[in-house]
Every structure is written in C-alpha cells, then in structure tokens.
A and B are shown apart, each in its own frame.
Chain A
Amino acid sequence: MKQKFKNMSDTNLLLFITIVTFVLMYVLAVCCLGGGFTKPQSFFDLLNENAALIILACGLSLVMITGSIDISVGGIIALVSMSGAVYLEKANGNVFVSLLIALGIGLVFGAFQGYLIAYLEIQPFIVTLAGMFLARGLTTIINRDSFNIENNEAFKAVKNLRIEIPGLGTTNRHGIYNPAYITIGVVVALLIVLILFCVLRWTRLGRSFYAVGGNNQSALMLGINVKKSKFLAHLLCGLLGGIGGFVFLLNLGSGAVSNGGGFEMLAIASAIIGGTMLTGGVGNIVGSLLGVLSLRTIQNIVRSIGLDEAWWTEITVGAMLCIFLVIQSIVMARKEKKAK
C-alpha cells in the first residue's frame, strides 16, 4: 500500500488529497453541524448554484494543464450574460439563438486569445488580462443597467426546468413532500466534466495537453504540435466560458455589469484546490469539480458556525487556498527528494 502511494503520479496524488479533504469536510459538517447539511437537497443546491463556476474551473484546468492561464473568463461571463439578457428581453429572442450567441462570444474570445498566446508567443497573463478588460468594457457598452428577464416565456420555461431525483426528497413539517432536484445547468456541467475527463485520459489531444504542460521542449521533440495544443486549450477554455456564461444566465436570469465578478480567481482557486498546478502538466477535471464544491462547502460551514460577517467567507477561502498550496508544495518537494 505504501509502495503504491509512493508510486502514484502527481496528478493522482493531488486528486487523492482533494477527494479526501472534500469527503472529510462534508462528513464533519454533516456530523457536527447537522442541520441543512444532512438534507440531500443541500448537496444538490451546491451543484445548482455553482454549475457555471464548475464549467469555468474545467476550462481553466485545461489551460493550466498546458502551463498557461486565462483570467478573462469572469469578463466573458459578464459579456455573455449581458448580451444574452439584452437579446432575450429587449428583442424577445429565441433561447436557442441566445445559446448560439453565447457559444460564439466564447469561441471568438478563445480563438483570439489562443492565437496571440500560442502562435505569437505573447504572455498569456497579459493577453487574457486585456481580454478581461475588453469583455468588461464591451459589457458596459452594450448595456449599463442591470435588469431581470421577465417577459420571455420560453427562457423562463428553460430556467425553471427541474430534473427531479427519485428517492432523495424530504418531507417537511407540514407533511408536504419536496423532491430533490437539479437544474439543467448542472446536467450540462456534469456532462462537460465527463467528456473532458474522457478526453484528457484517453485521447491523443488530452495527452498532448499534459505533455505540453509538463515539458514544452520534450513535447516538441516527441512530435507534438505544441502551438496547436496550446491554441486548442485556449479555444476550449473560451468555449467553456461561453457555455458557463449561458448557464450563469439560466441560473440568475438577469444581466448586470457586475456579473461574474471575481469568477476568474474563484475558478483558478478551485482548480488549484482540485490539484491542478499552475506550472502545467499536472491536473484533473474531477478535481476541479471537487475544488468548486470544497470551496463552497467551507464557505457554508463558516457561515453556519456563526461567523456570518461578510469578510469571513473570503478570509476562509484565502486560508484554505494557502493551506492547499503549502500541502502541494510539500508533497512536491518530498517527491523531488525521493526521485534524487
């Protein structure tokens, strides 16, 4: 067993740590705090509220596995949700077309940034920073006021679509049965997690991402098209940003300039907690999903033990990030020593 632990690859080891922490945290919350944590629906609500963030974290871990970074996703969310909301509410548009708009915006941003980063070799931080500014600025140019989508019946139907999960509902005090449910956004998010998991594990493209992030030079020697892989990672991240924006819009149902504020950093933090390293070559999609859930669970825990001033949740996220980074760095240092 110990030997097996030692021989674990970095990706699996970090994923293992993430899984253990999440399970421990949730079990502790259920045992010690009880209350809302024992209801299955509270777990599903965790998914319902964070579907967009999960999608973004997936996109970011793709990019981070190739050793790059994308901080424009929060801005893309704002732009997508605002343009979608304007189209749906003011032009009374079609839901399907608004999805296409969202995908289009994501793809354009992804392709543009990917081209600059992969083929012109400009630092990803600067390019995506500019992308963030561009997206946020364009959002205010499209519309400055926040508003809800109220008159589009088709959109509301999709927004209120609930997928009930049999057997996990609860009966409340008045004897009314509340079924457990997830929203359509969660289905999309989980599908994306599944697809990307398969892509990263079993396809040539996925392996080339790891190779490029692990060592640029040796990937080149192996005959991998490094530039194309990087470009595709950014393209996918942009696309996922578009999808995430649409899911965000489905969840919130309103367009606002401040939508998705700080999401880029939350997504990066989730990916890191999920065991993806910014240096590249190490990471896992399932970890990112768990990263988002861990982040939100600890926020809920902090709130439920009575530290409900607004600043405590952010301080806990920072502290958690700090702990995870230190754990990662210690694990890596040990591995390096053993390798020597």
Chain B
Amino acid sequence: MKSGVKFTNIFKKQIFIPLAAIILLALINLIVDPSFFKIKLSDNMDGFKVLSGHLITILDSGSELAILAIGMTLVTAASGGQDISVGATMAIAGSVVVRMIGLTYGAEDNNIMEYAMPLIIAFLIAVVVSMLFGAFNGALVSFFKIQPMVATLILFTAGRSIARWINLGKNVVVSNPSFKYAGVFLPGVPVATPIIITIVCIIIIMLVLKFTNLGLYTQTVGINERSARLNGLNPKMIKMLAFIILGICVAVAAMIQVSRYQTINYSSFGKDIEMDAILAVALGGNALSGGKFSMMSSILGAYAYQFLTTTLLTFNAPPDALPAYKAGVVILLVVFSAPTVRDKISKLFKQLKNNKKSGEAKEVA
C-alpha cells in the first residue's frame, strides 16, 4: 500500500513528464540500437582529443534550447504568456556580435566601418542590445497590458529585418580564429564549450532561485497579479525583469549559435527556436497560463525535445519532415498530460477497481 502511495506521488510530480519522455526515448534507442549510448574519445580537426557520441550531441546541440528554456520559463510564469520573438531577437544579437567583432565582406564593397572588438566586449554589447529588446517587450506587456504573444509578435515580424539591417544585408564571414571557441571547443578541453556554458547558466539560475526571492515573486505575480500588488510587490517590474532575463539568455544562445556556424544567415538563424523553447517549457509540465513553475523540469524538457530530434535523425528521418513526427509526439504528450484526460483515465481506473471489488464481493457472497 505504501509503495502504491509513493508511486502515485512520483506520477503526480511535475518532473515526471520530461523524465518519462527521456526514459522512454532512451529505452527505444536501447532496443533499436544499443550503440546509441557509446561515447568515445577521438581526435577532432584541431588535433586534440574530444568526447563524441550521440549523447554528447544531444547535450551539445540542446544547449541553446536549454538556455532559452530558462528565460522562457520565467516569462511564462510571470506573464502567463510566451515570448515568440526569441528567434528573431537571437538573430539581432548574433548580427550585433558579428558586426562588432570585425568582419570581412565580399570584395565588391567595404563601405561599412569595421570594429575589431575583442570577443568579450562584442558579447557584452550583444547582451545589452538583447536586454533592451527584452525590456521593449516587457514594457509593452507590463505597462501597456498587451498580451505577451501579441506584444512579441512585433519583434517576431520585424526582428529578422532589423538583424539584416544591422549588417546592411551583407553576407559576413568572421576572420577571428578564437571566435569559434564559444560554439565548438576550447583548445585542450574535451567537452564542447556550449555544454560548459549551459551548465554554468543552469548553476547560476539555480543559485539565484535558491538565494533570492525571484522564483517566489514571479510565481506570486503569475498566480494572482492583484493580490501580489496588495502584498507590496510591483508586478510590472517583475514582468519586466523576467523579459530582461530572457533577453540575457537570448544573447548567450545567440553567441553560441553564431560561433557554432561562424557566420549568420538572417533568415534561418534561430528559426523556429521560439516554438521549440515554448514546447520545452510545456514538455516540462509547466502551465503555459503562468503561475507555478519548475525550472529543472523545463531544462529537462528542453533536453527531452533535443533527444527526440536526435533520435529521429539517427533513424534516418528526412530532416525537413522532422516537424511532422515531432508534432505527432508532442500531441500525444500534451494529450496525456492534459488534466481532463488524466482525470478521465484515473476515473476509468477507479471504475475498473470498483468493478473488481464488486466482482470479488459477489464471489464471496
């Protein structure tokens, strides 16, 4: 009986959903091809030993998503809506980084000023820029009371164009050799840098949530804005703060991505990543209508989503048909985690139990 109670407790916990998804995917992979889990140490192009394998790929390419999921969770919790402009803002931040680092155009014209900034300063400028865009979204949401999805629709439509405008639509190639450290490998370190950056981000946000009231305040605002105000909180500032934090996350993700490809393609850079980030939050079992959240579940949700992508790719699914398969999985997951469906299922179970009991009673009689 006791174990039964414990089991239901695990089942009810929020982290169960992404965890179950990961375990399920791992099982499928284990059955189909056990070598999926192999991790080897091999030489890379620059001649030092690095870890490689499907699991490392998941951790590596899921980095941007995990980092964005952190900010998206806070925004979702505080404002009860989602930011759909993260992909476009990422393009802006990436464009700023490329512009600042100093770039070489095609030979035909060189009429743009080149700033040969150090990497770190370029990155900081990108952080400031995307914080400003985050603040813009936040101001629309909190001061003008526009629903987040609509407010961020503005940057969603205009963002990529702004990114293109920053570099005047030029194709840029970065000549700085240390540029790829952030997105690929640091010399001599066997673990891909995005993984390290993500771990640092996760540790920072966990510490912030543990030692400050950020988590409590965002949840309070998300659950009931009016009562939060009556308790002396300033809901507007907290919503702003959530959007600004998301801005920082966007800049970090953009830095990783732009350094990974060493160039920026304005129309495909960070495309649809906003949808993936929102799905990661939803997969983490967080209510998209705001209120209570679990950061760890969101991050696990992001990796579960990446796990799914990588699994589909190893099964030789054509990359451009991936969305269809993903949609199927997402629909199944969402349907089974919907409260009404869960209620129905548990009712069904109860009925079955009752039937059994009544059957037993009859037998006894």
Contact = CB atoms under 8 A, between A and B. Distances in A.
B1 interface: no
Contacts of A138: 324
Contacts of A309: 165, 169
Given A130-B330, A140-B318, A325-B150, A315 B165 contact: yes
Interface in A84-125: 116, 119-123, 125
Contact of B156 (A265, A272, A333): A265
Nearest to A316: B158
Given A69-B149, A265-B157, A311-B161, A130 B144 contact: no
A114 to B, nearest CB: 14
A332 B150 CA distance: 16
A272 B153 CA distance: 11
Contacts, number: 138
B154 interface: yes
Given A144-B320, A265-B153, A269-B157, A126 B327 contact: no
Interface in B149-169: 149-151, 153-162, 164-165, 169
B201 interface: no
Nearest to A312: B161
Contact of B331 (A116, A262, A279): A116
Contacts of B328: 134
A329 to B, nearest CB: 4
B144 A133 contact: no
19 contacts: A119-B340, A123-B288, A125-B82, A126-B334, A127-B334, A129-B330, A130-B334, A132-B323, A136-B323, A137-B321, A137-B324, A137-B327, A265-B157, A268-B153, A309-B165, A311-B160, A311-B165, A317-B158, A325-B151
Contact of A125 (B145, B149, B321): B149
B289 A123 contact: yes
B282 interface: yes
Nearest to A134: B327
B340 A133 contact: no
Contact of A314 (B157, B318, B330): B157
B41 interface: no
B331 A319 contact: no
A136 B322 CA distance: 9
Contact of B278 (A116, A129, A266): A129
A165 to B, nearest CB: 33
The 4 A-B residue pairs with the shortest CB-CB distance, nearest first, are: A137-B324, A318-B158, A311-B161, A133-B323
Given A137-B322, A278-B149, A126 B282 contact: yes
A134 B158 contact: no
Contact of A272 (B150, B279, B327): B150
A271 to B, nearest CB: 10
Interface of A: 69, 116, 119-123, 125-127, 129-134, 136-138, 140-141, 144, 257, 262, 265-266, 268-269, 272, 278-279, 309-315, 317-319, 321-322, 325-326, 328-330, 332-333
A256 to B, nearest CB: 13
A293 B132 CA distance: 32
Interface of B: 82, 140, 144-147, 149-151, 153-162, 164-165, 169, 275, 278-279, 282, 288-289, 318, 320-328, 330-331, 334-335, 338-341
A129 B275 contact: yes
Q: Which of A266, A278, A326 is most buried by chain B, counting CB atoms within 10 A of its CB?
A: A278
Given A116-B334, A310-B164, 9 more contacts: A133-B326, A134-B324, A138-B324, A140-B318, A278-B150, A312-B161, A314-B158, A319-B154, A332-B145
Contact of B341 (A120, A126, A272): A120
A221 B289 CA distance: 23
B144 A325 contact: yes
Contact of B146 (A116, A126, A134, A329): A329
Contacts of A278: 147, 149-150
B160 A314 contact: yes
A122 B169 contact: no
Contacts of B160: 311, 314
A332 B340 CA distance: 34
Contacts of A314: 157-158, 160-161
Q: Which of B82, B162, B321, B341 is most buried by chain A, counting CB atoms within 10 A of its CB?
A: B321
A326 B144 contact: yes
B21 to A, nearest CB: 15
A140 B151 contact: no
Contacts of A322: 140, 154
A265 B140 CA distance: 18
Contacts of A326: 140, 144, 146
A279 B282 contact: no
A161 B278 CA distance: 44
B164 A140 contact: no
A315 B154 CA distance: 9
Nearest to A272: B150
Given A126-B330, A133-B327, A278-B150, A140 B320 contact: yes
Nearest to A329: B144
Nearest to A129: B275
Contact of A321 (B154, B325, B331, B335): B154
A229 to B, nearest CB: 17
Contact of A269 (B153, B155, B322): B153
A244 B231 CA distance: 50
Contact of A325 (B140, B289, B331): B140
A126 B278 CA distance: 8
B282 A120 contact: no
Contacts of A312: 161
Contacts of B327: 130-134, 137
A134 B321 CA distance: 9
A252 B73 CA distance: 41
